[in-house]
Structure 1
Amino acid sequence: MSCATLFPRLLGDVGGTNARFGWQAAPGQALQNIRVLACADHAGIDLAIEHYLHSEGLDRPRAACLGIACPVTGDSVRMTNHHWAFSVQALQQQLGLQALRVINDFTALALSLPDLPADSKIPVGGPLRGAEQAPVALIGPGTGLGVSGLLPSQGQWLPMAGEGGHVTLAARTALEFETLQVLQHRFGHVSAERVLSGQGLEDLHAALRCVRGDTAPQQPLDAAGITRLALQQGESSCLQTLDMFAVFLGRVAGDLALTLGARGGLFIGGGIVPRLLGWFEHSGFRREFEDKGRYGVYLAEVPVWVIHTEHSPALWGAARALDQLH
């Protein structure tokens, strides 16, 4: 029996901070009972799911698909930026499911991209439309840094499941080099995720203070505080942090677009950049995205959009993943 016929469905988008769940009662029906739970409030994903089903008054689903923020390479799943770990087979048995599919959360988000409504895509330079039947890239700073993409194949889209957030971050200016040296001394390998994430924003701010020789006592700022002080009060050190964040994101996104040949466009997901809209479009992101020497002209023709939606589109991507499972 195809999973496309198994309903009702439980759909999940599980990040390092929040788990988002939705319910699809029948084929073609809209998602219902969408709810966001804090991962820290539940000892395991099984307890979070049970809490969701009980609190929403839902029956047992027949099928489920969970997009989760970690590599999914077999039965054993262990999150990268949270302590949840589980066996896919054991979870399926525990929930009494006829089918359970677990995929990377950005694979789920990538699967939703072809169906995103126009008003949920905020343009950040380049043409309004991407090339037809060309690869599409996806990157998203949040609790971690998600990376994925879509490849066209015989009229369908094939999602990529990779861990591109852990590529090595590169400096181009003296200030960037000094800043990354501070981070390297503290952490060893400085990946893109080490800077392009919520914790990364905090670590970047602290590293820049160190480079400036700022030894004045200060309570460490969290990512929300850095963003608020930068955008609402124009505080110089926080603005400098956001500026470097946007530049690094542009550089990594440009590398991704070149690697995939993403002439179909690049999407930015995750929870951080949508909160920067109004400022981000005029930041150094687009300049750095295109600043690839002879291939600047190539990237100038690649549109970039920030995904801005009320509910996680990865839930729809999880539904599509079930439709494709036989």
Structure 2
Amino acid sequence: MGSKFVADVGGTNIRLALVENGRISLIKKYLCNDFEHIDDAILQFQTDIDRHDFTAGCIGIACPVNGDAVKMTNHTWEFSTAELKKHLGLEHLYVINDFTAVAHSLPTLNHNQVIQIGGGSAREKGNIAVFGPGTGLGVEHLTWTPDGWHTLDGEGGHVDFAPTEDDDLIIWRYLIKRDGRASAEEVMSGRGIVNMYRAFCEDKGIQAKLLKPSEVTTAGINNTDPIARKTIDQYCKIMGSFASNLALNLCTTGGIFIGGGVTSKLQEHFLQSKFREKFEAKGEFSHYVKRIPTYLINEPDHGLVGALAYLLQQTQRMQDDE
């Protein structure tokens, strides 16, 4: 039997790992810009770990994956899955969206890889939702079927932003005036942090002096700018409302998971915020969402873990079919 690998590909980095005994090992990270094609990076990984017997792999990649042709959104790499499989000499190659990989990681994470926020308990094989505020706003659902876990793809980050209190309306009006529409992604993302900050500055009639998401989050966490502080406080509350909407959409008794770069930067502040209070503020359905747990993903390799979970599920399915 040959070796297997998994990869997590973003716009800047590609992370690869060897699969050994059902686990990931020998993780290597490379800059995408150092390689003309994705197969060059994979071949470099083989050389670096001195393993040239790969027979199968799974790649989670930051772009839509709807067929054989794959073209990255925020990088120049594009390839045919069939041609890549042939060039690498693989028997099996699976290419999935990076957030699909994140979703598949969720049922495999243990209590050391997540931080629970508030109460509730997960039901085994119950529906799961995950969202991740970062450059954009990724959303995915996961449901159990007789064939194993399946993702329910969609564009949940682009739903309408739903204000629930007066400060939300300030943000909503700012975006409506600027864009003609207020989407969840324009609030719950890196640029969303800046949008919120600018909206609150405009409402107070003052000049916005912080221009980058990192500037707003740093000033808010350090409490050196009152509007930045208000921004991150409101951001956490809005995430709570959004999370409970996902819970209601698909009865996510398996839990709601939160990842993404923005949330990781806010971790301690986020854990002490009113996120869970707003999650449970669903009026006559508060009793419904209170039973649903919410988790912050605390596993830095969850993209690779998810690609592994997908690869193992596909491998098991093939064995069952034989």
TM-score normalised to structure 2 length: 0.86
**1:71 touches 1:162 (CA, 8 Å); kept in 2?**
no
Mapped pair 1:242 → 2:232: yes
Greater Cα offset, 36-45 or 64-73: 36-45
Greater Cα offset, 49-58 or 162-171: 49-58
Mapped pair 1:273 → 2:268: no
Which one of the candidate residues 130, 154, 165 is aligned to 1:162?
154
Match of 2:68 in 1: 75
**1:67 touches 1:102 (CA, 8 Å); kept in 2?**
yes
Listed as ranges, the matches of 1:145-294 within 5 Å are 145-154=137-146, 156-215=148-207, 218=209, 220=211, 222-294=212-284
Deviation for aligned residue 1:188: 4.7
Per-residue CA deviation, residues 259-312 of structure 1 (Å, 9 max, x unaligned), is 110122111122222332221122121122122221111111111111102x31
Match of 2:301 in 1: 312
Gaps of 5+ in 1: none
Cα distance between partner residues in 2 of 1:256 and 1:181: 24
Which one of the candidate residues 5, 20, 25 is aligned to 1:10?
5
Match of 1:97 in 2: 90
Per-residue CA deviation, residues 41-94 of structure 1 (Å, 9 max, x unaligned), is 555544443454455554363222111233322122334455544332233233
1:188/1:48 CA distance change after superposition, 3 Å: farther
1:81/1:324 CA distance change after superposition, 3 Å: same
Deviation for aligned residue 1:249: 1.3
Match of 1:112, SS state, is helix
1:148/1:36 CA distance change after superposition, 3 Å: same
Cα distance between partner residues in 2 of 1:56 and 1:272: 33
Match of 2:116 in 1: 123
Match of 1:19 in 2: 14
Mapped pair 1:65 → 2:54: no
Match of 2:135, SS state, is coil
**2:23 touches 2:308 (CA, 8 Å); kept in 1?**
no
**1:62 touches 1:96 (CA, 8 Å); kept in 2?**
yes
Identity across matched positions, percent: 37
Greater Cα offset, 179-188 or 92-101: 179-188
Match of 2:186, SS state, is helix
**Which amino acid is 1:140 matched to?**
G
Match of 2:107 in 1: 114
**2:24 touches 2:308 (CA, 8 Å); kept in 1?**
no
Cα distance between partner residues in 2 of 1:205 and 1:17: 27
**1:179 touches 1:211 (CA, 8 Å); kept in 2?**
no
Cα distance between partner residues in 1 of 2:76 and 2:177: 26
1:225/1:295 CA distance change after superposition, 3 Å: same
Mapped pair 1:324 → 2:313: yes
**Paired residues, number:** 315
Greater Cα offset, 72-81 or 118-127: 72-81
Cα distance between partner residues in 1 of 2:167 and 2:308: 45
Deviation for aligned residue 1:21: 1.9
**Which amino acid is 1:160 matched to?**
L
Mapped pair 1:297 → 2:287: yes
1:285/1:219 CA distance change after superposition, 3 Å: closer
